[in-house]
């Protein structure tokens, strides 16, 4: 997911979100818009990883750096501890929820 953000690939990010996730619509709208606003660098460090073979909760130290597309545009840095709940479906781990979703919101220039 982090690599998909850094390569400006919204579909590569969204493929990991369960289609039934309550966060899917928000992310399906915000990720493409965010990635259209400039170059994005993304990195993750694991803080914790708990659960079993079917469900897991991970906490991620997620850092985003967004360089606005405009030549003199701002450099926005965001860093949050993100809680990610995962569930294994058809032998594939899918994200059920991400919190806070605001990390992935488009840049507001107002």
pLDDT values of the chain reduced to their tens digit, one per residue, 110 residues: 999 999 999 999 999 999 999 999 999 999 999 999 989 999 999 999 999 999 999 999 999 999 988 788 889 999 999 999 999 999 999 999 999 999 999 988 65
Q: What pLDDT sits at residue 68?
A: 86
Ordered structural domains, the chain, with CATH: 2-100 (3.10.450.50)
Rounded CA separation 89/67 (Å): 36
Burial per residue of 72-88, b for 16 or more beta-carbon CB atoms within 10 angstroms, e otherwise: eeeebeeeeebebbbbe
Q: What pLDDT sits at residue 34?
A: 95
Rounded CA separation 40/3 (Å): 10
Rounded CA separation 104/34 (Å): 7
């Amino acid at each position: 997911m982090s690599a998909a953000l850094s390569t400006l690939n919204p579909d590569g990010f969204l493929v990991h979100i369960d289609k039934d996730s309550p966060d899917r619509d928000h992310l399906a709208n915000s990720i493409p818009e965010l990635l259209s606003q400039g170059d994005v660098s993304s990195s993750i460090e694991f803080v914790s990883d708990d659960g079993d073979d079917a469900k897991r909760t991970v906490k991620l130290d997620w850092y985003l750096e967004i360089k606005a597309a405009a030549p003199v545009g701002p450099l926005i840095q965001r860093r949050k501890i993100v809680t990610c709940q995962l569930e294994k479906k058809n032998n594939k781990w899918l994200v059920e929820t991400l919190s806070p979703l605001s990390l992935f919101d488009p840049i507001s220039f107002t």
